[in-house]
Chain A
């Protein structure tokens, strides 16, 4: 029933006549008779917009939207300023094609150029691409940038998000790259093990800051050790934390990658998200994906174009730095509008509120009877251990409309706090946890 075809039956007939066809069937004479569908697709008839709207809304209604979330582990609950939604739902940004025609795409090109600049400022790097699919594919693509005739193998810290490692394993399987996991110690990358595991011919070592458990890795020492092995240091970062924390650039990393979802992008059950990648000038021509560059037009006016395309699949085919074509441009725009709305002070404020609230919440949960698993400095996520099973604690929270931390095992939970969590909500959550553990907590 629903259709977006403007042509009326009368017009269709006229047009068929104009091309000398008697019917639609005449247009498909090259499709062998015996493979053609005889009775069309075995699918229901179409519906009106109102019917579809009811149907899809009913599916959305079957999901539970939590009022309060203490779960992160790679996707984060942050405030999205109104201006971000207003700009990024604009019909032109939503529907435009890849900016291959610069004369009529300056708006897209400039917005991505600005995004690239912001990613460089956040990470302390020289060059950023226009995005890849998500943080995990960014971490996976980084390996290919570092491999050469003398350097192979991707060495990944065990404290990297396991979901990211899964994706890296898939990419390494494809390219035939050896993947080695560097063990952890007390929740951190084991520096001694790194020195022993990573050979001199390694292409790259990846670690995550803050790591999967929320702990801050000794990044400087790790990068020094990696460089002593003549390998490239790839650092996966949470962009929110870079409003405050030392940058991969300052620390000497060769490539910075990460998941850009915290920058104003909906959690949306996992996507679309934003993989960002930035590096120094040395590896510029090995970056995968699109890059926007500044130039001038024939009148000497500032103009932006897709550049360094000799790296890309439509020019280099099987010798390209990656197969990526479609990326996550609208998510990159979202991140750019978010960072613009926040500004340097606003982003620093978000970062410090996240850290401050997580530390407050940690203390409340300890009072509620949970034990903190690792002693190390953390940012806005931490792991607790409990005598009571994780499921029991999380169920009690869920019954009160609260999404608790992510269970890492029967008795361990990875918690997260952001600027969205109020003191009141944290106190309330802690009281519910205390109710499960049987601890008395005094009101704060």
Chain B
């Protein structure tokens, strides 16, 4: 389809503002050429974006089982509450007495999230999960520094961790120690014991981990780190599996980040804004950084999350974990005769990982091919090639908001794709067929990057 720059005509514009009612003033330093912004009518804008919308897979277009991303349904009441003028039209630097409602939203959300995580203090400033990690790691850094314990420069990260974990640790000035997982996909306790020492600042862990497994050694893990003088950081990416069942604070974690756009139903919005609140135990409260961005974070995202919390209440949150885990295990049970789980006999929680390694060896069909084939069934591909420790990985997280019929449909579709892959691998390898475009050439995109529209006159 056309780009917005390929539409319209010179001089076309909308009628938005009245004429200026004061004498015109032109400051010195005018730009030489006007920015080449589109010159279009409102009709064209409206149609342009309608056409773009048709080429998007939203949460309501079908099943969206992205592992570790928790693509649950985004309740409409959240959107309504976040669009109230009493929130949207408030200047961030208004006097305190005029923003008491905003303060209540912040206060209540912190209170609930502290109870959910078993933490004592919370900051809602971080704007995304990775931003929360950075915030939490700075908290750990400050803690050791305040104690004069300056040799603690290393953060331990399991090899199954999200890429943001080591990246955040590096931004916070730490060096990274990777520890290998056991064959069962859990933290190798022996390797952890060998990794900790007087230079350990902390450990970052997701539990359940990125394989979807709850590490039952969790108390031992956190005590190994604590005994060595380090702190334990909980990456809340997978909290949906255990919310209302077990709290990071009770497992021995000192710092936690949450993803409001995962566990707490705020929308992913094509990649953001999300929110990544950070909680900590009381002894770390003074170490929380005050300014990781301006103001109180992505406030309207926080309004949405609070709305969701108030609707579900304490027991409703436990129901979330129960049904998230149930849905994942049910889906796995319906495809297990075709697809091989990454860990034989493991208890998966809210997500599971399958490996296409065998299939790839036997007839060349890869995880990517299966993922692309799902599109032809109206299903969004799962997370692919992650975690890195599983070859040809596909990671599925159905979430609690999917009905049984959908899980049955997905299972049937995946079984059909599996059969097709055995009978006619080339067919599967050339998927998708029903989408607006076929597989794009990503190598070409990176080799000679075209990252903005090339105007004909350039």
Contact = CB atoms under 8 A, between A and B. Distances in A.
A62 B101 contact: yes
B449 A63 contact: no
A27 B323 CA distance: 10
A75 B89 CA distance: 11
Interface in A69-106: 69, 71, 73-75, 77, 79, 81, 83, 86-87, 89-99, 101-106
A376 B65 CA distance: 57
A368 interface: no
Contacts of B289: 170, 173
Contacts of B294: 74, 134-136, 163-164, 167, 259, 270-271, 273
Contacts of A120: 452
Contacts of A118: 35, 37
B412 to A, nearest CB: 15
Given A6-B402, A294-B445, A86 B170 contact: no
A60 to B, nearest CB: 3
Contact of B61 (A92, A137, A246, A271): A92
B251 A108 contact: no
B16 A92 contact: no
B198 interface: no
A359 interface: yes
Interface string B166-181: 1111111100100000
Contacts of A2: 310-313, 316
Contacts of B295: 75, 163, 269-271
Interface string A32-74: 1011110011111111110011011111111111100101011
A293 B307 contact: no
A49 B403 contact: no
A33 to B, nearest CB: 10
B444 A40 contact: no
Contacts of B32: 246, 250
A313 B163 contact: yes
A79 to B, nearest CB: 7
Interface in B366-407: 371-372, 375, 380-381, 386, 400-404
Contact of A167 (B141, B269, B292): B292
A166 B306 CA distance: 28
B271 A5 contact: no
A197 interface: no
Nearest to B133: A323
Nearest to B383: A100
Contacts of B291: 136, 163, 166-167, 169-170
A11 interface: yes
B451 A65 contact: no
Contact of A114 (B3, B16, B42, B80): B3
Contacts of B319: 3, 5
A243 B116 CA distance: 47
Contact of B451 (A133, A266, A291): A291
B347 A313 contact: no
B456 interface: no
A318 B165 CA distance: 8
B167 A322 contact: yes
Select the residue from B49, B85, B444 with max chain A CB neighbours within 10 A.
B49
A302 to B, nearest CB: 8
A348 B100 CA distance: 37
A74 B271 CA distance: 24
B286 interface: no
B76 to A, nearest CB: 9
B365 to A, nearest CB: 17
A75 B91 contact: yes
A344 B101 CA distance: 38
Contacts, number: 679
Given A337-B49, A378-B27, 14 more contacts: A63-B102, A97-B57, A103-B440, A130-B271, A269-B296, A272-B272, A272-B298, A295-B441, A295-B445, A324-B131, A326-B127, A327-B273, A331-B272, A398-B98
Given A5-B323, A43-B112, A113-B453, A102 B437 contact: yes
B134 A323 contact: yes
A30 B90 contact: no
Contact of B218 (A11, A35, A86): A35
Given A110-B3, A320-B167, A355-B27, A268 B314 contact: no
Contacts of B361: none
B359 interface: no
B42 to A, nearest CB: 6
A184 interface: no
Q: Lowest 7 A-B CB distances belong to which pairs?
A: A270-B295, A60-B86, A46-B313, A2-B311, A43-B314, A62-B101, A270-B92
27 contacts: A4-B401, A7-B404, A41-B315, A47-B313, A53-B81, A60-B81, A61-B101, A63-B87, A79-B17, A95-B74, A110-B52, A166-B291, A170-B289, A170-B291, A245-B27, A245-B31, A270-B92, A271-B300, A313-B130, A318-B176, A326-B131, A326-B274, A329-B269, A344-B36, A349-B20, A423-B21, A423-B22
Contact of B35 (A87, A121, A127, A175): A121
Interface string A312-356: 111111111011111111110100110111111111111011011
Contacts of B61: 92
A344 B35 contact: yes
Q: Which of B79, B91, B98, B323 has the most CB of A within 10 A?
A: B91
Contacts of A319: 170
Nearest to B61: A92
Given A57-B84, A99-B270, A293 B445 contact: yes
Interface residues of A, number: 204
Interface string B30-44: 111011111110100
- Among A259, A292, A320, max chain B CB count under 10 A is at A320
Contact of A36 (B75, B246, B347): B246
Contact of B329 (A19, A245, A318): A19
A329 B272 contact: yes
Interface residues of B, number: 195
Nearest to B454: A294
A307 interface: yes
Contact of A292 (B29, B95, B100, B451): B451
Contact of B130 (A86, A122, A127, A325): A325
Nearest to A114: B4
A355 B20 CA distance: 11
Given A55-B310, A65-B89, A164-B294, A15 B272 contact: no
Given A103-B437, A105-B55, A106-B55, A86 B46 contact: yes
A443 B325 CA distance: 70
A246 B29 CA distance: 6
A216 B29 CA distance: 9
B281 interface: no
Nearest to B315: A40
B292 A341 contact: no
A339 to B, nearest CB: 5
Contacts of A396: none
Given A32-B218, A216-B29, A296 B246 contact: no
A1 B316 CA distance: 7
Nearest to B176: A318
A46 B272 contact: no
B415 interface: no
Contacts of B213: 30
Contacts of B131: 133, 137, 323-324, 326
Interface in B188-217: 213-216
Interface string B86-108: 11111111110111111011000
Interface in B272-305: 272-274, 276, 289-301, 303
B317 interface: yes
Scoring B88, B162, B371, B380 by chain A CB atoms within 10 A of each residue's CB, the highest score goes to: B88
B214 A30 contact: yes
Nearest to B39: A343
Q: Which of A53, A58, A128 is packed against the most chain B CB atoms within 10 Å? A: A53
Given A246-B31, A266-B300, A296-B440, A64 B94 contact: yes
